[in-house]
Structures are given as C-alpha cells and as structure tokens.
Amino acid sequence: MSDMKNDREIIEAALFAAGVALDAATLGKLIGRPKKSVIPIALDLVGAYASRENGIEIIDLGERYVMQVKPKYADVVRPLAPKELSAPMLRTLSMIAYHQPLIQSDLVDMRGNSAYDHIRELKERGFVEAVPHGRTKLLRTTSLFADYFGLESNDPELVKRKIIELSRLQSGQSGLNKWLGRRFIGVTPMYESLMGMCGIREYKVINAYDPTEEEMDELEDVYKLVISKGYAEKVSKYYDGEVIEVRSTTFDDLIDSIKQLENVGDEDKVISSMEKITELKERYVSKALVISKKVQPATEMVARIVSDLHLGVSSSGIVIAPDYGRSAEGVEVSVGADILIPTHRNMEGDLLVRVCGKYDAVIDGLKKLENN
C-alpha cells in the first residue's frame, strides 16, 4: 500500500514538474512499473483532482496525462505565466496549425519576413517540423504542440477544430481572424483613401510611425501594414508583420499602390479605380501638350511629375519646387522657385484629389507664365 502511495506521489510530482503531457510508458519508467500498471494510478489522480475544489486539474489525453490550470482560471493567472511564446510568434504558430501542411513560402507571404525567425525558434522548441518541399519546406505541428495545448493527438483536423473552438471564445469569426493573426489591414492616415480605391473594408487607421500604447495594441491585430515608402525601418520597432510601402506623388504611384493590394481588395473596385486613374493621367498629359516652356525640377519628386507630363527639361528652365521649404537633408528648395507644388502636408482631400492638385499646380503655373 505504501509503495502504491509512493508511486502515486511520484507521478503527481512528475506531471507538475514536466508542464507538458507525459505518456504512461514514461511514467512507468519513473516508478519502475509496466505501462499497464501506471494507467489506473494516473486515472485515480485524474479523478482525485476532478473532485477537489481547486484551480488545478489533470487531464487524460488517452494514455497521456497533463497537469494544468483549469480553463476558467487561465485568463486570471496568464499574466503570471512564463511568456514562452510572444504574441506574433503565437500567431505564426496558429497559422501553421490551422493550414497545415503549410508551404513555408506561403506563410512568409502572409506573415512577412519575420516568419523566418519565428519558424526557426518554433522548430528549436519542438512545436513545428519542416520537411523539404521543392525549393521550400512544408510546415507541420508536432506531438509536443498537441501536448502544450492539451490536445489528445496532433491530428490536423483535431488541431483545426481546437483553433476554431478557441476563436469562438474570442467572438466568432473575428476571433478566428485575430487568433490567426489576420484580422485587419493597417494603414497610416494619409493612405486611408487607398482602402476605398481597393474596395477594402476590414482595415484600421493607425499612426504606425509613432504609435500610442493603444495603437501598439491595435497593431497586434494587423496582418499587413500600409505605410509611406522609406519608413519601413522606423515602423519595424513597433511592428513585425508584412509591410507594404507605397507612394502617391504621381498617377502611376497610385496605380502601383493599388496593384500591391489587389490580392486583398475587391476585384471590380480595383479595376475601376485603375481605369479612372489612367484616364485622368491621359487628360493631364493632353493638357501639357500645348506647353512649350522648358522646366527645371528642384527635386526628384517634381522630376517624376514633369516626366509623367512629358515636359521639356533644361538647366535654365522654369524652376518648379515643392512647397515644404527645406528638404529632409536640410537643403532649402522652395526659395526662388517660379512654381511651387503643394505637398501632402498642405493639402486636403483624398489621395487622388491631392495628386490632381500637384499636376494642376504645374500646368496652371506654366500656362500663366506663358501668357505673361
């Protein structure tokens, strides 16, 4: 009797120390008994913990056993638990689990280049395995993953059902999207109208360049982040998902920006927006055909507009500059210019209105000078 009690206590201690599921064979080696002798002892522990009024339970996973916090107390004690998996890494793991077997290159497309680091660490921890698949790899969860999340097996359908179940605890389909790390597209304020051009409805407007604490939380729900070109390094301090850098100086910029989002936008809206922008560009090029004066662009931004309008360029031509004064390098570019182009900080309206405003400033300014 005393030996049986001792065996029971050893098994209980082993489950507590392991923190993951242990099978009957492993427990049998600890107490020097065959597997069949361990099962009734473990089941007795399962029953004993179930009858107690405490916060811990032992779960039978089919000849594997795990000691864990009861689900109703999990959220309460979670802040005190070791942060073994960061939120972004957990989302990457969730996507592998939900879509497995998942091609690694597809995962990177969905989660961005940071997924490579996540995959490496998840493999090191034993949650994920990767097998060669052509030039890439196929990703799957492991039995350790099943143990960690209290699943009876690592069967893909069982894993998928578990993730759906977890999502329902977070308010239905939106919860599933959040669990899979693909709830919203994030967009900085200047590019909100781009969402309308693409027919995208599920998005959040976030100042990703210098986010508040609340905006930092919102970034956790974002699976693609749309920002101005050249700011990727700055936002990488706050966000490790996929970043889409866009520009909006010219009509072609807008078309290129829409193309980068066409796979998540509404197909009909994407097509109609690109057709509208192309038509507008052709109108402005036609207006510029009657202009004979040559110009001197003060910046690369102005040069791109001038090139778009097929205007002649000369070092002695009419100087066209942006209206922002000093450049990022501290060079004064506006003083002495014959024509000033309004920049985003000094304009209102959506992106298309602002682009039209820049082209209008060039054409109207040149026509006025020609008439003088």
How is domain 87-179 classified at the CATH fold level? Answer: Arc Repressor Mutant, subunit A (1.10.10)
Structure confidence at residue 349 (pLDDT)? 82
Contacts of 55 (CB under 8 A, 6+ apart): 69, 70, 73, 77
Q: Where in the chain is the domain with CATH 1.10.10.10?
A: 2-79, 87-179
CATH of 2-79, one of 2.40.50.140, 1.10.10.10, 2.60.40.1180, 1.10.1740.10: 1.10.10.10
Structure tokens at 289: 């055909």
Asked whether residue 4 carries a pLDDT value surpassing 50, the answer given is: yes
Structure tokens at 213: 């604490």
Mean pLDDT calculated for residue range 134-157: 82
330-334, Cβ contacts within 8 angstroms, sequence gap of 24 or more: 333/298, 333/299, 334/298
Summary mean pLDDT of the chain:
82
Contact criterion met (CB below 8 Å) for 354 and 248: yes
Q: Which residue has the higher pLDDT, 357 or 201?
A: 357
Mean pLDDT calculated for residue range 347-370: 90
Structure confidence at residue 82 (pLDDT)? 47
Report the Cα–Cα distance between both ends of the chain, in Å, rounded.
111
Structure confidence at residue 167 (pLDDT)? 52
CATH of 184-271, one of 3.40.605.10, 3.20.20.70, 3.40.50.1980, 3.40.50.150: 3.40.50.1980
Of 242, 237, 230, 235, nearest to 184 by C-alpha is 242
Alpha-carbon distance of 298 to 143, in angstroms, equals 62
Q: Which of 36-50, 173-187, 315-329 has the highest mean pLDDT?
A: 36-50
Structure confidence at residue 172 (pLDDT)? 38
